[in-house]
Structure 1
Amino acid sequence: MKWQLTILVCLLAVAALAVRVIDLDRRPMHADEGVQGLKFIELLEKGNYRYDPDEYHGPTLNYLTLPAAWLRGEHNRQALTETTLRLVPAVFGAGLVLLLLMVRDGLGRSATLSAALITAISPALVFYSRYYIHETLLVFFTMAFLGSCWRYLQTRNRGWAAAAGAAFGLMHATKETFVIELFAMMVALAVVIVTRHKRQNAPEAQGNRAIKIEWSDVGLGLVVAMVVSVIFYTSFFRYWRGPVDSVLTYFPWLRRAGGASPHIHPWWFYLERLAFFKRQSGPVWSEASLLVLAIAGIGVAIRPGLYPAANAQLVRFIAIYSVVLAGVYSAISYKTPWCVLGFYHGFVLLGGVGIAGLLTICRARLARGVCVVVLAALLCHLGFQTWRTAYAQPADRRNPYVYAHSSPDLLRLVDKVNAIARANPNPDKFAIQIMAPGGDYWPLPWYFRKYPRTGWWSEIPENPYAPVMVVGAKFHADLDEKSDKRWLMVGFFESRPGVFFELYVELELWKKYVETLPRDND
């Protein structure tokens, strides 16, 4: 019954939220998270937001973080926490489970429930739902768009056309790569329309219904999409260049996609992370179980009779969309692991269909029992991988989803500087100088956001001295020797793999800090 399925999906959504929100601050901030966090502070404290076409992506992440900060009583940089920032993608990540209810009549009961379970425990979806970046929001709005389109096709209700337009506008206002998803959708739709004519007399009757739309409803959806996009890109009608910049942004991004970026990787970059990933002496990571289930789902798309409860056209669309999207992202030279989420979510939907198809095929009691045991083992393996990626090793460079990530050692540096600052007798005069080659000091600006007297340098200035100095090791600064030991080098810290900082502290301040340390009873 529909209400039973709804209850089960809602329970899985609650479980998905719990998995995503526990210990959100256990992992150090990535440089990208730090950049986005400081940009949000401008909006939080001053109400200022200006879309930058060269960096930062779209405005939805910033604006949707405002309610979270307000509800948690965090109105300035001193109060704002990593947990609040990461709550936003975590909530939208769990919301992906609920969106499956929009297509339950297209996927069928078993596939909907199976896809909801995989979404709740998926390693990649859970890991990046705990990341303050745009990808999870883009996946959510993409699914909302597809779900709204499906509901419109089933009901011809103009409200769903408007909802699809709103979701499409939010996709555009989230990240520039939405055009790749749009391209994959257009290819999938074209193939479904062409192949439908060849299957009119096929036995799977419910999968071959003609696709009918009212062009006035399409126009309504486009108007709503434009309005939503303009609202966000104009910063709620205060910055009218924003919509223009949302088009001009493709020039710098095309340069990056073509190879003008340090993030250039071979075509198998994503496949390696999903199928078999091993670094150094670390363990093997694999989501081959999801790939196997997705392949089973593609089998249902090819042979709809294997799972007649699903709509053949919808399953075919999801399969083509996911494969095309994976192919395009793999062909683009510019790659970062979080970009996997777009087609990965498609694989999750196909995995749900694959599970339902396998259970349908295995009708005999023994065969079904074996199938259930195997499927349970595959899902348990996915859950184990999620625990490893999100909780056991969330910042370990051997984790396939960790990419140029801050080392946990960076938090030791931050804690040390905070403790020294508390020991300073003149807090109003406390200052920090941060020096790193090429300005490679992120995410330290996020962690030191509470200190207004902080200088940031891409080289060592003529007068570098301050009560505390954090200096890139590549400079070989030797500021303790150059200052005749009036400053001491008191620590060496890893920022991320291959990037190290030296910590220098004024001698008298260091003495005061040492006095605050607990004494041994001896």
Structure 2
Amino acid sequence: MNRSLFFFSIVVIAVVALIFRVSFLSDRPMHGDEAVNAVKVSELIEGDEYKYDPYEYHGPTLNYFSLITSWLYGANSFVDLNEEALRILPVLFGLFLLVIIYTLRDALGAQAVLFSFVFIAVSPVMVFFSRYFIHELILVFFTATFIIGGYFYLKNPRIIWALIIGVSLGLMHATKETFVISISAIVLGLFFLFVQASKKNRLVILKSVRVSHLFLMLISAFFISTLFFSSFFKNPKGIIDSISTFVTYADRAENSVHVHPWYFYFKLLFFYQYSDGPFFSEWIVLFLSLVGSFFGFRGELKYGNPKFIRFLVFFTAVIIIIYSLIPYKTPWCLLSFYYGMLVLSGVGAVQLIHLRNKSFRLISIGIIFLGVVHLGQQSYSMNFKYFFDSRNPYIYGHTSSDVPKIVEKIKLIASFDNGDLPVQIQVYCPDNDYWPLPWYLRDYNVEYGDVVSEETPPAPIILIQPSMEDDLMRKLYELPEPGQRELYMYLFYNVDDGTVDVMELRPSVELVGFVSRSLFEKYLQNNTKGLEVEP
């Protein structure tokens, strides 16, 4: 392929990828996990010291990298943050995952790189989680740089490649505990490749790895990991916690509401339809990755490095098996193996368009074209039409569409509070299950709790889960002295028909709202219709 045409095509595809990832970035309501991550980032922005928690929240890279994007958006506090300032980070890493494929022109072949670019750019799941403020894409990116660094090191053992491998390993560890799965798959992939190699090639591989370089890899990985987990050497305990955390996550893998059957990821990717929703499938990636794996395993390749592609087949197969066997499954975890499938799809596409039989070649080109168009259509549908609809396969325990209504109702009523400070709000939910409300109520003075507190006076606005209503009635009407009790009205009261709406925080997680009568009447005097909650 002409170099100018190749480069032009890469730029066009990258622009398409960017448009898919940044358009309407703030429209989807924040997931609870995104809100939790936002709070942790805000603590760093506001000057609090980060301390790694071995029980929750994963590794520190997301927090520290988000400092950079937050500063670029001029955010100096939690209140200053917005969805775009946070989600731009995974957007960038999603684009980085696209760009680094360009470095594999020799390993994959230029045409395979171009096809891989296309599939990664428009893959619905890659676009969806490139717009999601969680750790996963950071982990996938540093796994990719680890593998690419290893490829170039074995070709030409130099210190720079040893450093890239070590730094990538350290950043993988500092991103998410599941990095051990990726490393295990890499090691097993190399082992299978080594076993298949001739005795002569094995000796060549072993001799190419210098002990001094191996030592440098380990030292740089340890340094980077220690740097992040110790909060830049301010919290040494974080280093120990980064190891002890694996006990917690091993137990969680077996005992969790996130336990799913082995085929869970395949159903989401290739055979998903919920209720009357559309049928979602990235079938072209499944088909072409199998084709690429077949030719890669047999070594019958038109272009590229057969050993690297065979390693990629082994790595992808192993990591798929591991993630399928682990009972604990969440949709975003599939990115760790799906990226490999997307790259292998590029390899498979090249093999098909170079078939000797002209008829098969033309049919293959037609199938690939239709598959890419279908991916683009599905990506648009998933990310801009069903972007927080339960019929979307990747909407998992997501924030209800009621939450923006709850927040808008609170803002409307709170605007009639005459106090000098932001109106006080109390939110009580069992097990502190009130996320993502801390994100949406960050402008207000909010008391959160997992029980109805009897120590603090009732706030003008109160949100609870229905199971806590009896405890709240005691707080409002039994504990206060006579003459100090204020009546409370339902926050989501419909003036027209006298009904009360029970809102949802997430599917099956209900919220009931209350507002003090004094604040209710102030609002009602100004705009009676404003208190109605739209269906």
Give the secondary-structure state (helix, strand or coil) at the position aligned to 1:428. coil
Matched, 1:508 2:518: yes
Give RMSD over aligned pairs. Answer: 2.4
User: Matched residue pairs, number?
Assistant: 510
Written as runs of structure 1 = structure 2, the 5 A alignment for 1:445-460 is 445-451=438-444, 453-460=445-452
Deviation at 1:84, TM superposition (A): 0.7
| Equivalent pair of 1:51/1:245 in contact (CA under 8 Å) | yes
Deviation at 1:389, TM superposition (A): 1.8
Provide the rounded CA distance (Å) in 1 between the counterparts of 2:523 and 2:165.
Answer: 58
Deviations 1:127-158 (A, max 9, x none): 11111110010001111111111122223222
Deviation at 1:479, TM superposition (A): 6.3
Matched, 1:408 2:401: yes
Provide the rounded CA distance (Å) in 2 between the counterparts of 1:315 and 1:2.
Answer: 23
Provide the rounded CA distance (Å) in 1 between the counterparts of 2:512 and 2:3.
Answer: 61
Aligned to 1:204: none
Deviation at 1:122, TM superposition (A): 1.0
What letter corresponds to residue 299 of structure 1 in structure 2?
Answer: F
Deviation at 1:285, TM superposition (A): 1.5
| Equivalent pair of 1:145/1:164 in contact (CA under 8 Å) | yes
Give the secondary-structure state (helix, strand or coil) at the position aligned to 2:223. helix
Provide the rounded CA distance (Å) in 2 between the counterparts of 1:349 and 1:387.
Answer: 21
Pick from 421, 434, 457 the counterpart of residue 428 of structure 1: 421
Q: Do the aligned partners of residues 242 and 150 (structure 1) sit closer, same or farther apart at CA in structure 2, a change above 3 Å counting?
A: same
Provide the rounded CA distance (Å) in 2 between the counterparts of 1:362 and 1:394.
Answer: 43
Deviation at 1:440, TM superposition (A): 1.3
Aligned to 2:498: none
Aligned to 1:121: 122
| Equivalent pair of 1:322/1:346 in contact (CA under 8 Å) | yes
Provide the rounded CA distance (Å) in 2 between the counterparts of 1:198 and 1:119.
Answer: 37
Aligned to 1:153: 154
Matched, 1:475 2:468: yes
Provide the rounded CA distance (Å) in 1 between the counterparts of 2:460 and 2:389.
Answer: 32
Pick from 272, 296, 306 the counterpart of residue 277 of structure 1: 272
Deviations 1:96-139 (A, max 9, x none): 01110222200001111111111111111111111111001000
Provide the rounded CA distance (Å) in 1 between the counterparts of 2:503 and 2:10.
Answer: 45
Moved more, 221-230 or 136-145: 221-230
Question: Identity of paired residues, percent?
Answer: 37
Aligned to 1:293: 288
Deviation at 1:476, TM superposition (A): 4.3
Deviation at 1:461, TM superposition (A): 3.2
Provide the rounded CA distance (Å) in 2 between the counterparts of 1:76 and 1:363.
Answer: 63
| Equivalent pair of 2:230/2:239 in contact (CA under 8 Å) | yes
Deviation at 1:29, TM superposition (A): 0.9
Provide the rounded CA distance (Å) in 1 between the counterparts of 2:521 and 2:241.
Answer: 52
Deviation at 1:273, TM superposition (A): 0.8
Provide the rounded CA distance (Å) in 2 between the counterparts of 1:392 and 1:295.
Answer: 30
Aligned to 1:368: 361
| Equivalent pair of 1:480/1:504 in contact (CA under 8 Å) | no
Matched, 1:322 2:332: no
Give the secondary-structure state (helix, strand or coil) at the position aligned to 1:488. strand
Provide the rounded CA distance (Å) in 1 between the counterparts of 2:391 and 2:199.
Answer: 48
Provide the rounded CA distance (Å) in 2 between the counterparts of 1:333 and 1:300.
Answer: 31
Provide the rounded CA distance (Å) in 2 between the counterparts of 1:359 and 1:313.
Answer: 22
| TM-score after normalising by structure 1 | 0.92
| Equivalent pair of 1:433/1:464 in contact (CA under 8 Å) | no
Matched, 1:182 2:183: yes
Aligned to 1:205: none
What letter corresponds to residue 515 of structure 2 in structure 1?
Answer: V
Provide the rounded CA distance (Å) in 2 between the counterparts of 1:2 and 1:218.
Answer: 36
Deviations 1:391-428 (A, max 9, x none): 11111112111111111211110111122222211141
Provide the rounded CA distance (Å) in 2 between the counterparts of 1:316 and 1:262.
Answer: 36
Give the secondary-structure state (helix, strand or coil) at the position aligned to 1:237. coil
Q: Do the aligned partners of residues 5 and 221 (structure 1) sit closer, same or farther apart at CA in structure 2, a change above 3 Å counting?
A: farther
Aligned to 2:104: 103
Aligned to 2:251: 255
Provide the rounded CA distance (Å) in 2 between the counterparts of 1:197 and 1:474.
Answer: 67
Provide the rounded CA distance (Å) in 2 between the counterparts of 1:299 and 1:416.
Answer: 57
| Equivalent pair of 2:98/2:121 in contact (CA under 8 Å) | yes
Provide the rounded CA distance (Å) in 1 between the counterparts of 2:383 and 2:200.
Answer: 44
| Equivalent pair of 2:123/2:282 in contact (CA under 8 Å) | no
Written as runs of structure 1 = structure 2, the 5 A alignment for 1:146-225 is 146-197=147-198, 212-225=208-221
| Equivalent pair of 1:420/1:510 in contact (CA under 8 Å) | yes
Deviation at 1:170, TM superposition (A): 0.6
Provide the rounded CA distance (Å) in 2 between the counterparts of 1:335 and 1:247.
Answer: 22
Deviation at 1:372, TM superposition (A): 1.6
Aligned to 1:395: 388
Written as runs of structure 1 = structure 2, the 5 A alignment for 1:132-143 is 132-143=133-144
Unaligned runs of 5+ in 2: 478-484, 493-501, 531-535
What letter corresponds to residue 321 of structure 2 in structure 1?
Answer: G
What letter corresponds to residue 240 of structure 1 in structure 2?
Answer: P
Q: Do the aligned partners of residues 478 and 281 (structure 1) sit closer, same or farther apart at CA in structure 2, a change above 3 Å counting?
A: farther
Aligned to 1:59: 60
Q: Which runs of 4+ in 1 moved over 6 A?
A: 478-482
Written as runs of structure 1 = structure 2, the 5 A alignment for 1:304-319 is 304-305=299-300, 307-319=301-313
